[in-house]
Structure 1
Amino acid sequence: MRAKNSATATPTIAVTGADRTGGTVSAGSTVSAGSVGGAGSPGAPVAADLATATSGRLTDPLPRGTVLAALGVLSFSLTFPSTVWGLESFGPWSLVAVRSTLAALIAGAFLLAGRVPLPERRHWAGLAVVAGGVVIGFPLLTTLALRTSTTSHAAVVVGLLPLTTAAFAALRTKRRPSRTFWFAAVAGAVVVLAFTVQQSGGAVSQGDLYLFGALLVCAAGYTEGGRLARLMPGWHVIGWALILCLPLMAVGSAVALSVEPVRLNAHGVIGLVWVAAGSTFFGLYVWYRGMASIGIPKASQLQLAQPLLTLVWSVVLLGETLPLAAPLAAVAVLVCIAVTQRARS
């Protein structure tokens, strides 16, 4: 409920219950307008479409928030190289199942330590969408794609995720972005499609189909996560989504490990640990804490560096040779994302 302070005439918002950054406030207290975005890695800030209704100015613009958000982007940029390393030791189904199981156990420990109450019954359907898109769908489809696609190729395709998420958010919230927004979004999609066709010898490969599917399911998960993040802290959203998947992923781990061969080596173990603890939990945790401090507009600008960082890791960690089209396409997509950000602000 909006009210005017008679002394300062500054707009404030009355808040009761849990705030959007994980703390609590007493009834009748006020906070400055601001919000926290969706539940996940590369396109999360775009998923929080609702933040456009606020000024984006927060009461605690600490430099620490920028550092935390940057750590989140750095963590996400290592996901694909870590997945490639993990595939040296595990099959794709084993890697995804064990990754999600470990991440859920870590999230459960933090939720238990913080004595976080169970979500309300009306939120579980939304959490199921987040779990299906972010916890299961995106990791599984990208892992299957990375068996045949290079990390640099996947980074360019998945660089389209913020635009895909923005389109889902517009449909979900029934908002009508400007023509400039849609023009930039379509342009980014055309760039990625042209890149994939050119790199695949004139046709779309099976790996590309997996990546495009990953874009769709993850965008749906991010969008629903953005909606839920208005009602609970963002890291609670991903935490409970992981817990929701724990029974299925624990059984899946046992079955997959008994069927797929396991060849443990240093790369495989490091890759598994990072995608579970680094990308899935730590990255999301620092990302949401940083975004709560500096606001969605500033955080989203930091995330523009993520595809380019992944290209760097593909060369440094995996020894890939980048075709000239990869960095050019990545920069073109980043320009399109930047245009959509301005059009939505």
Structure 2
Amino acid sequence: MKPQEIKGLWLGLAGVVIFALTLPMTRLAVGTPEAPQMSGVFIALGRAVVAAVLSAAFLVATRAPWPRREDWVPLALTSAGVVFGFPLFTSVAMRYVEAVHASVIVGVLPLATALVGALLHRQRPSMGFWLCAGLGSALVVAFAISKSSSGLSLHAADALLLAAMACAAIGYGYGARLSQHMRAEHVICWALVMALPLTLPLAAWARPQVALATSAWWAFGYVAVFSMWIGFFAWYRGLALGGTVRVSQVQLVQPFLSMLFAVPLLGEQLDAVTLGFALAVIAVVFLGKKMPVRAGAPA
């Protein structure tokens, strides 16, 4: 393995550790149905506003060049995935499911990220890859149904988490592609700044109108500064150096890290069924990442 690929894996791991706290911190900020705190809409859009302000200052300080004309559409797709889609869907969902539960649902994200990366580079995943992707998705749905109180159906929060996973994979894939010729830090900064005309007024509209727990504000600060900003510095740089398909493998540890963080932070319990499904999903994802992906025409 080349030195830059090793560096990419380490940077990717640093990003994953930061992202692993996102679900527990979001749960802490949004509260529960019995003790609600911030709205999911405010958390998603407010954290984007804070990160956008930091991004604007960073772009000015580093004298970042304007994106090329052909980069604006990929930047918009990156923004749609990781500035709007993933934060909004997860923040709304996390009031109704525990962080340990959500960690299993998002466990197939590495496979989705690898798939998006392969499609963007016009590669052709093998039948084994598709079988693993299907099995991993089936395991996640089976877990969600087994935990549902409404019979053989998905809880609305689980559907939101699955949508969030798809959004994140798209945002990661396009962001990694842009990081091939842009500074990784500039990719997420431009994605945040270009979203500011929408996120600022919407966050102001959704702002809390009542006093909230101090812990909720601390959790909001974490997802704004680390989950929405600093984590992407390491993550996109890691994907650019080590390759999207290879580095996305380090996401395998994210569900377990999220679970470990959720237990002391939120007092959640990790039962055998949840752990068993998590291990099964990760095993399938691991096998899927080993399946051949044939090269196609260059993008």
TM value normalised by structure 2: 0.87
Equivalence for 1:267: 215
Change beyond 3 A, Cα 1:204–1:165 = same
Identical amino acids, percent of aligned pairs: 37
* Equivalent in 64, 76, 79 of residue 19 of structure 2: 76
* Equivalent in 229, 240, 264 of residue 316 of structure 1: 264
* Equivalent in 187, 193, 199 of residue 243 of structure 1: 193
Q: Which runs of 5+ in 1 are unaligned?
A: 1-55
1:82-138 deviation per Cα after TM superposition (whole angstroms, max 9, x unaligned): 111111442111111210000111122222111111101211111111111110111
* Equivalent in 134, 143, 147 of residue 91 of structure 2: 143
Change beyond 3 A, Cα 1:262–1:140 = farther
Contact 2:51 2:224 (C-alpha < 8 Å) held by counterparts: yes
Equivalence for 1:117: 65
Bigger relative contact order (CA 8 A; separation at least 6): 2
Contact 2:129 2:288 (C-alpha < 8 Å) held by counterparts: yes
Give the Cα separation in 1 of the matches to 2:237 and 2:174: 19
Structure with the higher fraction of residues in helix conformation: 2
Give the Cα separation in 2 of the matches to 1:245 and 1:121: 17
Give the Cα separation in 1 of the matches to 2:132 and 2:23: 26
1:172-199 deviation per Cα after TM superposition (whole angstroms, max 9, x unaligned): 4432111221121111111111101111
Give the Cα separation in 1 of the matches to 2:174 and 2:242: 22
* Worse overlay, 232-241 or 118-127: 232-241
Q: Tell me how many residue pairs correspond in the alignment.
A: 286
Change beyond 3 A, Cα 1:224–1:187 = same
Give the Cα separation in 2 of the matches to 1:135 and 1:171: 22
Give the Cα separation in 2 of the matches to 1:238 and 1:319: 33
Query: Structure 1 residue 223 and structure 2 residue 168: aligned?
Result: no
Change beyond 3 A, Cα 1:294–1:109 = same
Deviation, 1:252, is 1.1
Give 2:2's aligned amino acid. R
Deviation, 1:289, is 4.0
Change beyond 3 A, Cα 1:66–1:214 = closer
Deviation, 1:290, is 4.7
After superposition, the CA RMSD in angstroms is 2.2
Contact 1:142 1:210 (C-alpha < 8 Å) held by counterparts: yes
Change beyond 3 A, Cα 1:101–1:344 = farther
Query: Structure 1 residue 210 and structure 2 residue 152: aligned?
Result: no
